Structures are given as structure tokens and as C-alpha cells.
Structure 1
Amino acid sequence: MNPNENTSTRKNVLLFLKIKGPQSTKELAAHLEITEMAVRRHLQSLELDGLVESRMIRQPMGRPLYQFNLTELADDVFTKNYHTLTLDLLQELADEVDEELVERLFKRRNDKLIHKYQSSLEGKSLHDKVAALTEIQKKNGYMADWEQTTDGDYLIKEHNCPIAQVANEYSYACQCELNLFQTLLNTEVERTECLAKNGNKCAYLIKKEHILT
């Protein structure tokens, strides 16, 4: 079987469940025009990935019926244009009031993030703070990792930016992230690469000897 066909069928299963809601193996097979055995194979793979779940429905007579539906995790598979709405709203604010209001909104969001995460990093060594902050960013969709350099400094790398479209239009978003890192780590942080400036990733160099007082 062509691997592309396998991927396409998998996507079609997700799309059909998104549009029609819970479906049985038989219903999916009829729509996709493949065998029920093939449908079960795709459903098993999707269940293992946490994208599909099944439930048993007891029938008045005969064997129980199993229906399959999308999980909350599967919702992230489908395209959303939240960034378009966000950019439109920010532009409206800038036009109707002023650009400074937009910057204040970014700062307010940044302050909330600091308040949310600061207590979980307090009392930790710089090494443990870097590891914890990287884990926070990873959970927030930044595909982050970190390493310690030969000089003993630290480097946090983000290979994805969930707010890339916003950051491309408003550089203050990037400045807020830099400020967030510096505040949470309580040390000097330098951005050495930026996705919004055509970099391959966002990279932050954390100097071990520049602890803020």
C-alpha cells in the first residue's frame, strides 16, 4: 500500500467523524469505500494516538454496537484561524486608540504569565529553572529543548511558535517573551535567533554568571 494512501485515509476518517459525529465501523467503511477490517486498522492507530475513542452501545437484540468519536486532542488537528481574528482585533485597537494600548495588552499578558509560573521556579538552581521553563514552553506548544554549553551557560531553543503570525506583525510579542525568560530565570538572557526574523528557531542564551540581584 502507498504510504500516502494510508495517511489520506486516516485524515478522511478524522474528517468524517468531525462532520458526522460518532460512527460505527460499518458506517465508516461504507463512506470511505474500504473494508471494515481496513477501517478497524486505522481506528486502532488513531486510538493509540489519542485522537479517537470508542463507546459501546447495547442493542435490544444481538451483539453490542461500538461507535467511534473524536477526542478533545483531535480538535487540534483541524485548522483554526485564531491568529487572523487576533491580528484584526489588535489592528482595530491600534487604529481606534493607539499603538501603546496594544503594547500595554502584551505587557499585561506577560505579567499574568510571570505570576502564573514564578512560584513553581522559586528556590530552584539556575540549571533546574532552565529545565522547568523549557518544559513549560514545551507544554505550551513551542517544541522547546535546552542544552548546557561548553562554557557552562545554557541555551533554550524553541522550534515552533504558536503565535508566529502575531509576532510577525508585533515585535513586542517577542520582547515580552524575552522579558518573561529573564524575570523567571532571574538572570541575563540574550536572544540569539528568532523565528519572526527568518531564523530557523528562537534561541535564548542564558548566562550563568549574570544572575540579577
Structure 2
Amino acid sequence: MKKAAGVSGHRPATVPVAGQPASDVVGADLPTRERVTQLLLEQGATTAAQLGSALGLSPAAIRRHLDAMLADGDVVAREQTVRGHRGRGRPAKVFVLTDAGRVRCGTHHYDNMATAALRWIARNGGSEAVEAFAAEQVSALEARCRSAMEDAGDDPLARAEALAGALTAEGYAANASTIASGGQLCQHHCPVAHVAAEFPQLCEAETEVISRLVGTHVQRLATIAHGDGVCTTHIPAQPGRAQSGKTVTTVRTDR
């Protein structure tokens, strides 16, 4: 099969730089799925055979990655458009990035824009304006999680388990566990980690939401934004109902 122009012969590179063509960052050291995404972003509609040839992958290997991307909604498969006389058999399928797949390619672009917007808010409105913005941003998340936790009961640890499920549905990859001193809520993914690294008000607003939803005082022990591997929130074992007002304690692990 004749290879589409530009699909093969990519120069491997390990460190992409601003303005560098997508073909220059399709290096063997990048995760395979990211390399597939970069090729589709640059080439547009591409067959599995062309992708496999460009990346040096067997048909079975490239098919596994494409199947996973199809299941996640990052690509769609279409019949290849054939101009002129078409030979026997069905046209080959081509794969195209969806809007969701393209958004993933521009994650840091949007992060940088969000960071710039928060810097503008801080410069013109001060820290209180940033706190108000952060609180408003997590209010919708709180409402959705509260709705998902309607049948969780009043026990803080049971509510933490229900909250973990709700947060997982929101993309946080969360889980809850019982430990000797109470409970622990872990979030293995943070959608705003890049921005929260500069504006911890986002983490603080999220912690307040966790406290209100669980119904008791909580302690944030670690955050991805701060460089920790997991956002970890401790839920102390204590009698009584939730405290009034702000019930957030942030404990830094580097001190």
C-alpha cells in the first residue's frame, strides 16, 4: 500500500518546543497513545496501516490503541473516501480525532489561559476576588456530588465513600478507605493541578466542598498541585455532627 505523504519518515525528538511541528514530537520515547494522537492531529484522516507503519507497530498493536481511543471517544472511524475508480472490496477505514480528542491535545494551552485569567483577577481584585472565583467554580461540582450522595446517610465515612464514587464520575479517579484515625479520601487525578499550583485557593475551595459534603472537619494532607502523587484528605474519627462555618485544615507534608 502506498503510504500517505508525510505519514512516514518522522524525525524522533524527545523534547517538543513551542512552534515545533507535530511530526517532530512523534518520538519513540512518548507514550504510544500520545504519538497516535499527534499523528492524527497533523495528518487528519489516517488508516490503521498508515499509523502502524509510521510508529513501527504491528497491526494488532495499533488496533489495541485505536480500540481504546474509540471507546474513550477520542477518535471516530469512517470509510476512506476514494476518488476515481475503486477496486474490489470495502474501502479502508480511516481514523479521525474527535473534538474531545483535540481538546486533550490542547490541555496546557487552556491551563495557561486559565492561569493568565486568574493572574488578572488577582491583580485587579486581590486575593479575595480569587477566592470568590474559586468558590464559584466548585459550586457546580458540589451540587452534582451532593445529588449523587442523597442516599449515603449521615456517617462521615460512608459519605466519604459515596463522595469518592461521585468524584470518580467527575474524572477525579477517587477512592475512600478506613484507617486507624478515621478515613481517607484520595484523588488520583486533578483537572486543575497546573493552575492550582500557582493558585492554592482552588485546592482550598475544593477542600471546603469535601468538608461540607462529608459533614465533618477534614484535613488536606497532600495535593497533586503541590507536587504530591495523590490529593489526600484525612477525615478524623470524631463523634457529633458537622461543625459550622469553615471546617478546613490544610496540613503540608513538606514541613
1:14 maps to 37
Distance 1:14 1:90, change over 3 A: closer
The answer on 1:80 being equivalent to 2:107 is yes
Deviations 1:43-88 (A, max 9, x none): 3112331344433358655211122223566446535222211111
Match of 1:105 in 2: 133
Partner of 2:206: 177
Change (3 A) 1:170 1:210: farther
Mapping of 1:64-143 within 5 angstroms?
64-65=90-91, 66-71=93-98, 74-75=101-102, 78-81=105-108, 82-125=110-153, 126=155, 127-143=157-173
Is the partner of 2:69 in helix, strand or coil? Answer: coil
Secondary structure of 1:162's partner? coil
Instruction: Give the counterpart letter for 1:69 in structure 2.
Output: V
Gaps of 5+ in 1: none
Residue identity in the other structure for 2:189? N
Which residue of structure 1 aligns with residue 63 of structure 2? 44
Which secondary structure does the structure 2 equivalent of 1:49 belong to?
Answer: helix
- The structural deviation recorded for 1:89 is 0.8
Question: RMSD over aligned Cα, in angstroms?
Answer: 3.1
Separation (CA, whole Å) in 2 of partners of 1:33 and 1:102: 45
Higher strand share: 1
- Structure with bigger helix share is 1
The aligned residue for residue 176 of structure 2 is 146
| TM-score where L is the length of structure 2 | 0.66
Residue 116 of structure 1 aligns to a residue in which SS?
helix
In structure 2, what is the Cα distance between the partners aligned to 1:9 and 1:90?
Answer: 34
Question: What is the alpha-carbon distance in structure 2 between the residues aligned to residue 117 and residue 8 of structure 1?
Answer: 33
- Cα deviation per residue 1:71-114 (whole Å; 9 max; x = unaligned)? 56644653522221111111112222333222111112233322
Secondary structure of 1:55's match?
strand
CA distance in 2, matches of 1:78, 1:5: 18
Q: 1:201 aligns with which of 222, 230, 235?
A: 230
Residues 203, 28 of structure 1: alpha-carbon distance in 2 compared, 3 angstrom cutoff: closer
Closer, same or farther: CA 200–19 of 1 in aligned 2, 3 Å: closer
Shift of 1:179: 0.7
CA contact (8 A) 2:131 2:205 kept: no
Output the CA distance in 1 between the equivalents of 2:224 and 2:236: 21
Mean alpha-carbon deviation: is it higher for 165-174 or for 76-85? 76-85
After superposition, the Cα gap between the structure-2 partners of 1:80 and 1:62, relative to the gap in structure 1 and judged at 3 Å, is same
Instruction: Give the Cα–Cα distance (whole angstroms) in 2 for the partners of residues 6 and 45 of structure 1.
Output: 19
Contact 1:53 / 1:68 at 8 angstroms: preserved in 2?
Answer: yes
CA contact (8 A) 2:164 2:174 kept: yes
Q: 2:89 aligns with which of 48, 59, 63?
A: 63
Distance in 2 between residues matched to 1:194 and 1:71, nearest whole Å: 31
Matched position secondary structure for 2:217: strand
**Structure 1 residue 195 displacement after superposition:** 3.5
C-alpha displacement of 1:212: 1.4
- Cα offset for 1:156? 0.6
Would the aligned equivalents of 1:157 and 1:204 in 2 still touch at CA under 8 Å?
yes
Q: Secondary structure at the match of 1:54?
A: strand
Size of the aligned set, in residue pairs, is 205
